Amino acid sequence: MTTNTIRPIIDPSRPKVYIETYGCQMNVNDSEVILSILQDAGYALTENIEEASVILANTCSIRDNAEQRIWGRIDQFKIQKKKRENVIIGIVGCMAERLKDKLLEAVDLVAGPDSYRNLPELLKAITPESPQINVLLSHEETYADIAPVRLDKNGVSAFISIMRGCNNVCSYCVVPYTRGAERSRDPYTIVKEAQTLFDNGYKEVTLLGQNVDSYLWKGDKEADRVVNFAQLLEMVAKISPELRVRFSTSHPKDISDEVIYTMAMYENICKHIHLPVQSGSSIMLEKMRRKYNREWYLERVAKIRSVIPDCGITTDVIAGFSGETEQDHKDTLTLMEKVVFDSAFMFAYSERPGTLASRKYPDDIPYSLKTERLNEIIALQGRMSLKSNEKEIGKTLKVLVEGPSKKNPDELCGRASSNKMCVFPSRGEKAGDYCTVKVVSVTSATLICTRVE
């Protein structure tokens, strides 16, 4: 099954599906795949839950609070079912895979990340006495032949999934259990999808994977060319100099010199790498099964900056993992000061059932201490973000316009190649236009710019 649809079908005669998406960019892309499959089966998207005959929540299991939020939404969905008894409530995605039978007691449909092709049949089979479940993980499914229906609002930036699953099995992470083993998608379908987006006016694509640096496609035939991630980046970049290419997420143990040099070769490959460190302590990194240590991480950062001096680097940090000492925490703070990340996603450790850490390591850091350490990390990152942004003052940057600034309709906002957000005066440009700007002042989150002719 294939479709060339880019935007959602709005058709009053079709049954309506309402989709809420939680979690990472992979889930956003999965919702677009789900909608493509359901549109081919005769459904149309609605943003009004009151008129939906099918209500789906595409869920995340990465932290406990994400799951608790979904349970609250299920209660809200059931209000719609009381109003209209034929409404179907479904939970799809990572939480569906992890909680299976428990969810089936509360909703009509439970479908894991590799079950989306079966959604039309599952929906048809649902009766009040027969809820449907399909959560089997696949070693082959990549949805390579399905063109996602784009749910973004501005038609400028889009996500492209290049692989699914993960083989790393970090001790704290539930992803390998909810998304299965790693498999890479045919690169030629990726390039075709990116070309279609560009032909439809998109100016930026983000290549998505749990660990993009381990992307490797070998094909089914002996004559097939082997394609690694650096080569895939180049293939997509060659579509047009006007198409920006981003990617997420990189793994510090796998990001190669070849990827770094390929980024440097092509102006339209954005100079930004999201490189999750999780901890600055080698002891914690070993316990987390990250397969690198503090020194390795710092060497990779040094290599990136030696080849691409202005490359933006962002990260993820976990506070309060099992057994974390005060010295381990200080190691994280000193690494952050040494790297000076542009920004970071920062969290207190949340034990996930079924992971190696939940079986082997006690969640022994008191909540109050986790919170205290997390607040220290957040405060430090605020200072580091400001320090990073101050280095941009006086620089001239090429910015892709995303739309009007939220605070001032006479200003535009958009991102530089480094992924830093810029705000600057409007001259009537629209989303998708490129503008050249000069940085004159900064906050910890934004570059304040003037226009350059």
Residue 434, pLDDT score: 97
Instruction: Determine, yes or no, domain membership for 156.
Output: yes
Instruction: Determine, yes or no, domain membership for 108.
Output: yes
**CA-wise closest residue to 347 among 98, 66, 22:** 66
* Inter-residue contact 247 to 206 (CB < 8 Å): yes
Q: Which CATH number goes with the domain that contains 25?
A: 3.40.50.12160
* Inter-residue contact 201 to 391 (CB < 8 Å): no
247 and 341 inside one domain:
no
Instruction: Determine, yes or no, domain membership for 3.
Output: no
Residue 5, pLDDT score: 62
104 and 186 inside one domain:
no
Instruction: Determine, yes or no, domain membership for 142.
Output: no
Residue 224, pLDDT score: 80
284 and 387 inside one domain:
yes
Query: What's at 429, amino acid-wise?
Result: E
Residue 219, pLDDT score: 83
Query: How is 38-98 classified by DSSP, letter by letter?
Result: HHHTT-EE-S-GGG-SEEEEEE--SSHHHHHHHHHHHHHHHHHHHHSTT-EEEEEEHHHHH
pLDDT, mean over the chain: 95
Q: What is the dihedral of CA 285, 350, 337, 439, to 10 degrees?
A: 130
Report the alpha-carbon distance of residue 87 to residue 78 in Å, rounded.
9
Given 249, 270, 291, the domain boundary residue is 270
DSSP 150: P
Q: What pLDDT digit, counting tens, does each position of 2-35 carry?
A: 445 678 988 889 999 999 999 889 999 999 999 9
DSSP 186: P
Q: What pLDDT digit, counting tens, does each position of 156-192 carry?
A: 999 999 999 999 999 999 999 999 999 999 999 999 9
223 and 296 inside one domain:
no
Q: Tell me the percentage of the chain whose pLDDT exceeds 90.
A: 90
Instruction: Determine, yes or no, domain membership for 143.
Output: no
Can you give the length of the chain in residues? 453
- Count structural domains, the chain: 4
Instruction: Determine, yes or no, domain membership for 64.
Output: yes
Within 13 Å of residue 379, how many CA atoms lie on the same side as its CB? 6
234 and 166 inside one domain:
yes
405 and 359 inside one domain:
no
Residue bearing tokens 């004159």:
440
402 and 358 inside one domain:
no
Residue 453, pLDDT score: 78
Residue 2, pLDDT score: 46
**Domain hosting residue 89, numbered range:** 16-134
